[in-house]
Chain A
């Protein structure tokens, strides 16, 4: 059957995360800092809204674009928090997670061979999603010294006549990087000048710390008409399993995305859509509570990593830190595997997020503080043993 698999699918390498997952799963009593989802359970008032929806017998399809009530809630939420307005009847589409929204946006936009720029290290699905949409992914490196922010010159150097879109993800998984307004303005300027469409995955937008302002590129002058704003409820409200994402974009593009969505997915699950309404309209406090918890864990984990000699700037977004492990003399994969075998702590090797992640590992602090404390203790022993040549 191998020969029957489409070439562009066959050629996509297995996810580095999946590889690592299998090793971790085969072991017991591991403390995992490798989890890319909140450790909190969805706040009770949101779960209760899902139960209520089931009680009322709401178990059918919704409109392809998503339940009108949810689209209205999204329009309000995005206008209040991101300062961009979208028409809920024609410019918003509810998807099964941001992953689906990104996939259908790419499929709606790309002709074979069109290039999509993205910053790397980045979330694992970007490059494969572009390839699956018959596009060509073009990585723009971002560096630790710049706080993993995207640099406008680096971006511009890689633009060609085939460049069609730029994929952004700030705050970033895996680095926790955020993009201050002035940096984002420079990127917006390049996009306007080269007529690029921007796909902006802002799934971590609520999770910023130290007063870092989250700016959506869609809110900058001349950008709304060329931006697909992608967001969802998974991270801010610990609702990963509900699978609700959404895309906001100009009508023509939503219409094109809708063609794919209606045939492939039909609609997002109604129970999850009803729960998402509750999150967006009444979830402010529960989100703040979780964010407050992440904020103190972040202080702790970044402090501990720096103390053990793994340089780690304190990131201002998401729930990841991305320490530099090069001083240990190991590469990312070996570091992660040995840490797992010798100390039973799982972190994700940086190259799982693109080759530019080599020399780094991703530690998630979406794990209880008690677990983080033990993990940091074990990791510190591990690094000390490595550096003293004890092992």
Chain B
């Protein structure tokens, strides 16, 4: 199961036939295992890893530290879920340490992200404070290094 997940995380577009061969499984058994992982929620979806810096279009990503007052009864979950529902939010985590939520926001410009923070986020009643950090450059995303790798420098034949 672990190897299957690893391979899917590396490349979920790999044809099922190839995947079955790599795992030495029958195609039916492979389909069954993948269906199981999907049904019990281990696999939550399949996405492309995009290096947005290569697009002409500007995108801005910010990591926002948010401090909130937990609610009686709901704790952090209700407010966190509320924040996570915004389309601009790509990830949202409850954190230990000096702040409570780490909210990752994407927008088309600095202004767009800033107005999201000032108008949507800071105005929520339970939000005490925010600190916004803009991302400057990505080196590794979801396990994929974004730099072009060096070519193989090994001798072409060796014992």
Contact = CB atoms under 8 A, between A and B. Distances in A.
A17 interface: yes
A35 B156 contact: yes
A282 interface: no
A21 B157 contact: yes
A32 B156 contact: yes
Interface stretch (A1-9, A142-150, A292-300): A292-300
Contacts of B157: 17, 20-21, 24-25, 32, 34-35, 346, 348
B57 interface: no
A303 interface: yes
Nearest to A33: B157
Contacts of A36: 158-159
Contacts of B24: 299, 303, 314
Contact of A125 (B18, B156, B159): B159
A42 to B, nearest CB: 13
Contact of A300 (B21, B152, B156): B21
A123 B22 contact: no
Given A124-B159, A292-B6, A37 B154 contact: yes
B154 A39 contact: yes
A346 B156 contact: yes
Contact of A25 (B6, B21, B23, B156): B156
Contact of A34 (B3, B6, B18, B156): B156
B158 A304 contact: no
B21 A21 contact: no
Contact of A15 (B152, B155, B159): B159
Nearest to A16: B159
B149 to A, nearest CB: 9
B7 interface: yes
A125 B158 CA distance: 12
B21 A35 contact: no
Nearest to A366: B154
B156 A304 contact: no
A348 B156 CA distance: 11
Contact of B22 (A32, A35, A299): A299
A34 B159 CA distance: 8
B37 to A, nearest CB: 17
A296 B158 contact: no
B27 to A, nearest CB: 12
**Which of B156, B158, B159 has the largest number of chain A CB atoms within 10 A?**
B159
Interface in A194-234: none
A300 B154 contact: no
Interface string A258-280: 00000000000000000000000
Contacts of B152: 39
Interface in B113-159: 152, 154-159
Contacts of A17: 157-159
Interface string A25-55: 1000010101111010000000000000000
A352 B158 CA distance: 11
Interface string A341-371: 0000010100010000000000000000100
Contacts of B159: 15, 17, 36, 123-125, 173, 352
Contacts of A24: 156-157
A373 interface: yes
Contacts of B156: 21, 24-25, 30, 32, 34-35, 346
A35 B3 contact: no
A28 to B, nearest CB: 11
A109 to B, nearest CB: 23
A320 to B, nearest CB: 11
Nearest to A26: B156
A21 B157 CA distance: 5
Contacts of A20: 157
Contacts of A296: 3, 7, 22-23
A125 B159 CA distance: 9
A15 B24 CA distance: 36
B44 to A, nearest CB: 23
B137 to A, nearest CB: 20
A347 B106 CA distance: 49
B154 A35 contact: yes
A88 to B, nearest CB: 31
Nearest to B14: A369
A292 B4 CA distance: 11
Given A17-B158, A37-B158, 17 more contacts: A17-B159, A21-B157, A25-B157, A30-B156, A34-B157, A34-B158, A35-B157, A36-B158, A39-B152, A124-B159, A292-B3, A296-B3, A296-B7, A303-B21, A314-B24, A346-B157, A369-B22
11 contacts: A17-B158, A17-B159, A25-B157, A30-B156, A34-B156, A34-B158, A35-B156, A124-B159, A304-B21, A346-B156, A352-B159
Closest 9 A/B residue pairs (Cβ)? A34-B157, A296-B22, A21-B157, A299-B24, A124-B159, A24-B156, A36-B158, A32-B156, A303-B21
